[in-house]
Amino acid sequence: MTLLLGFRHLTLPVTITGHLKKNPADTFAYTNGIIVFVKGGNKVLAKAVTDNKGDFIITFTPKKEKSFDFYCTGLGIDTILISSVTVFESDTPEMTFYIPGIRKKTTLGKTICPKCKRADKVYKIVYSDGIPDHFDDDKTANKQNSNPKIIDGEYYAGTCIVGIAKYYCDRDKVEF
């Protein structure tokens, strides 16, 4: 059998029965007709569209991905990270995701990124007409950050429309 299949390690597909729900702390979002997709190793592995109850089924075959990142997008919703998973309990898990995702905090109250599980490069998102271009002291402004959208500990999304994402991780380049 090994000669026929080569030395490639075969894995079973994972079929997730998913439920997208409004975050109880932030019920601004809607869950009908939202595109949910899973990425692994910077590739989209599969995508699905939620029904009128926020339910969906998504199937993909894992290979050597270290984590599986679940995103959603839709009308009026930027692409936001809703969860990151490293291991599935079975080949057919039932999973509930919240939009926006449930945010965890450190003991000091800093928001933790759901992907890297760290808080040191997580910034609150500010929605505005643009990135401020004037500082009181241009020589010291933004020295700590190489990202020009991060100013005084806040991430400027650069849009006048308020989005659902509340935080940005500069390490992983994701909004959640």
- The predicted-structure confidence for 68-126, as pLDDT tens digits, reads as follows 999 999 877 789 999 999 999 899 999 999 988 888 999 999 999 999 999 999 999 88
The whole-number pLDDT of residue 7 equals 44
Mean pLDDT of 34-53: 95
Residues 90 and 24 in one domain: yes
HSE-up of residue 56 (Cα within 13 Å, Cβ side): 22
Phi, psi of 100 (to 5 degrees): -65, 160
pLDDT of residue 35: 96
Question: Would the pLDDT of 59 be above 60?
Answer: yes
Q: What token pair was written down for 136? A: 């009181």
- Is residue 2 exposed (0-12), middle (13-18) or buried (19+ Cβ within 10 Å)? exposed
| pTM of the complete model | 0.79
Q: Are 84 and 169 in contact (CB under 8 A)?
A: no
pLDDT attached to residue 129: 65
Q: What is the pLDDT of residues 113-165, one digit of tens each?
A: 999 999 999 999 888 765 555 444 444 444 455 677 888 888 887 665 667 88
Q: Among the three residues 76, 102, 128, which one is the final residue of a domain in this structure?
A: 102
What's the order of all strands across the beta sheet hosting 55-60? 55-60, 14-22, 94-99
Task: State the distance between the two ends of the chain, measured CA to CA, in whole angstroms.
Answer: 45
146 shares a domain with 110: yes
* Pairwise CA distance, residues 84 & 70, whole Å: 6
Nearest alpha-carbon partner for 77 in 44, 45, 34, 38: 34
User: Are residue 33 and residue 108 in the same domain, yes or no?
Assistant: no
Could you tell me if 120 and 90 lie in one domain? no
Total structural domains within the chain: 2
- Domain boundary residue, one of 69, 102, 135: 102
CA distance 30 to 46: 21
Give the residue numbers spanning the domain of 127. Answer: 103-176
Is 167 found in the same domain as 111?
yes
Higher local confidence (pLDDT), 29 or 92: 92
